């Protein structure tokens, strides 16, 4: 897992509920990214942060929010505005040579 | 828009045979091409990468080749073993300073038959 810890591994969300996925890294990398993975599709970028206290929307940011208060942490909140949240969520930190280190993922299911 | 096409989507080989997965990218400014292996229920792991100033790179049984003119790159796995069974993703990135926006392929499910 390259020093990236995601929790929980499985998460269940009720309709209209916000949930937060945790991502922590001990690699001392500045850049952290969140991706969504659906069956048969490549990874799609939700949000990314290049430095503490700064983050940018990715390609599918609607219904998601993030914060980057510490270098080690980049939590993702899936809000009730995200109408199809069931997916596998992956967090990554990027080294200075552009290589990505991924966490083990969180599988979110709407119940 | 920018995209990466990956083929085949599934690949079955006999143990000991070679496997080849191909990706084609659209953005000629791409300069970094990693390959990731993802086992069931886990996050992707980087297995090999290549940069645009190199045509081929090898690491034991795994090699990657890059053809910048044709804008495609390939993963080669020789002497396949059952533990090579997984989903493999390619990606292309421009790697501009401070931004690492990867464009991922849709993945290849490799099955190595014992």
The pLDDT of residue A42 = 82
Those residues whose C-beta lies under 8 Å from the C-beta of residue B108, and which sit 6 or more positions away, are: B6, B7, B8, B9, B10, B11, B21, B87, B88, B89
Confidence of residue A1 (pLDDT cuts 50, 70, 90): very low
How far off is chain A from B44, nearest CA to CA, in Å? 6
The pLDDT of residue A6 = 97
How far off is chain A from B110, nearest CA to CA, in Å? 14
Report pLDDT digits (tens) over A54-101: 999 999 999 999 999 999 999 999 999 888 999 999 999 998 888 899
CB-count burial class (<10 Å; 0-12, 13-18, 19+) for A71: middle
Residue B85 and residue B35: Cα distance in Å, rounded?
Answer: 15
> At residue B23, does pLDDT exceed 60?
yes
The pLDDT of residue A98 = 81
Q: What share of chain A in percent tops pLDDT 90?
A: 80
Q: Which of residues 52-71 of B touch A (CB under 8 A)?
A: none
Residues of chain A in contact with residue B49, where contact means CB-CB under 8 angstroms, are: 99
> At residue B61, does pLDDT exceed 90?
yes
> At residue A40, does pLDDT exceed 80?
no
How far off is chain B from A15, nearest CA to CA, in Å? 24
Confidence of residue A53 (pLDDT cuts 50, 70, 90): very high
Residue B112 and residue A19: Cα distance in Å, rounded?
Answer: 38
Task: Taking residues B62-78, report their average pLDDT.
Answer: 97
Task: Taking residues B50-62, report their average pLDDT.
Answer: 93
Task: Taking residues B67-91, report their average pLDDT.
Answer: 96
Residues of chain A in contact with residue B95, where contact means CB-CB under 8 angstroms, are: 98
Task: Taking residues B40-55, report their average pLDDT.
Answer: 91
Residue A33 and residue B81: Cα distance in Å, rounded?
Answer: 32
Mean pLDDT of chain B: 93
Name which residue leads in pLDDT, B53 or B77.
B77
Of B6, B32, B98, the CB nearest to A50: B98
Confidence of residue A24 (pLDDT cuts 50, 70, 90): very high
- Say whether residue A95 is in contact with chain B using an 8 A CB cutoff: no
Closest chain B residue to the Cα of A51, Cα to Cα: B98
- Say whether residue A55 is in contact with chain B using an 8 A CB cutoff: no
CB distance A101–B49 less than 8 Å?
A: no
Q: What share of chain A in percent tops pLDDT 70?
A: 98
């Amino acid at each position: 897992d390259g020093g990236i810890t995601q929790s929980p591994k499985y998460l269940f969300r009720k309709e209209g509920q916000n949930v937060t996925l945790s991502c922590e890294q001990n690699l001392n990398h500045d850049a952290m990214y969140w991706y969504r993975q659906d069956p048969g599709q490549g990874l799609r970028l939700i949000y990314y942060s290049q430095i503490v206290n700064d983050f940018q929307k990715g390609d599918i940011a609607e219904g998601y929010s993030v914060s980057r208060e510490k270098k080690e942490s980049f939590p993702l909140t899936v809000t009730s505005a995200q109408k199809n949240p069931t997916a596998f969520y992956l967090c990554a930190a990027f080294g200075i040579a552009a290589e990505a280190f991924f966490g083990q993922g969180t599988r979110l299911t709407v119940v | 828009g920018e995209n990466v096409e990956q083929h085949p989507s599934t690949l079955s080989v006999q143990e000991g045979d070679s496997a080849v997965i191909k990706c084609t990218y659209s953005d000629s400014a791409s300069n970094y091409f990693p390959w990731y292996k993802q086992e069931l229920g886990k996050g992707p792991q980087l297995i090999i990468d290549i940069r645009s100033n190199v045509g081929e790179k090898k690491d034991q049984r795994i090699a990657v080749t890059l053809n910048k003119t044709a804008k495609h790159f390939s993963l080669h796995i020789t002497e396949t073993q059952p533990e090579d069974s997984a989903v493999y993703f390619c990606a292309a990135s421009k790697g501009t300073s401070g931004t690492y926006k990867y464009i991922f392929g849709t993945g290849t499910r490799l099955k190595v038959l014992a």
